[in-house]
Chain A
């Protein structure tokens, strides 16, 4: 389980870090020195941008600087869910997380309590991963493929609790 408490408050009080988190969720520069381009916009050095991103990543505030892929535009991305008896949940969750094809895995408050996403090159591979999880756990897995997506992902506008300095 990933839960780091809350070591991030000091980092998030910093107005430059807030800009790093807010202003660069999309449109990351496609240039040879992209962090230097960010630095120019922020009025600081390239090495300071890199250092701040390293710290935000280490603290868990930033997952990565990279791509968010539109589901189903390439490969297969399948939402799956299971009703796992409470006493088996930790073990089954570990088994699911250990699959390299699983990129999200959450416990949710419902009789169907384990929710995960399998992402593979094609649907056949995704089905094989699910089949394998079913046979190793002896539990049925609901397959909930995406049929339509209505949302255009523009990033996540953060609402800071304290006003920006």
Chain B
């Protein structure tokens, strides 16, 4: 049985699974038998594709499977990355509070890169307009008691590229 390694990388996942993930991340075809169509591309059976999706889902490699919306086109024009410099021994506690807010769509810890980048806690917030997102950041700071910590709010200005990720090795491109 394959196992998740401690670092979260699924060591036993084979190239067929990677290619399947690439196809799933690019999107199912809008045809009546989408899994059969992917199966034909991969050279496996429709049942193997469906079982593969179920397995990747079960393992947590796929965290969500369905209609992926684009916030901007749905009227969520303000997209902010709110970042904080939180002491390392407090960051998990603070993150637990932040992630409870429905408008916080992602919450990650990343390394600081001093002196240019002193922040280690990253949240994504999507809102209909800038004023509302600024208000939401203010709420986070008040409710979570973050006013003593350095922070920045980086609104997105232009989106140059947005699509699903690709995981197959470069030497074996997806057909």
Contacts and interface: CB of A to CB of B under 8 A. Distances in A.
B165 A119 contact: yes
A144 interface: yes
Interface residues of B, number: 84
A135 interface: no
A12 B63 contact: no
A165 interface: no
Contacts of A53: 30, 67
Nearest to B106: A151
Contact of B128 (A30, A72, A161): A161
Contact of A83 (B4, B116, B161, B168): B116
A36 B33 CA distance: 10
B164 interface: yes
Given A67-B62, A148-B95, A158 B117 contact: no
Interface string A139-165: 000111111111111111111010000
A149 B110 CA distance: 9
Interface string A71-112: 011110101010100000000011011001111111111111
Interface residues of A, number: 90
16 contacts: A12-B74, A64-B28, A65-B67, A66-B68, A67-B164, A70-B60, A73-B61, A74-B9, A93-B158, A101-B170, A110-B152, A120-B167, A120-B170, A145-B110, A148-B95, A156-B105
A35 B32 contact: yes
A158 B61 contact: no
B134 interface: no
A67 B73 contact: no
Contact of B24 (A8, A67, A125, A156): A67
Contacts of B99: 150-152
B25 A108 contact: no
Interface in A16-60: 20-21, 24-28, 30-36, 46, 50, 53-54, 57, 59-60
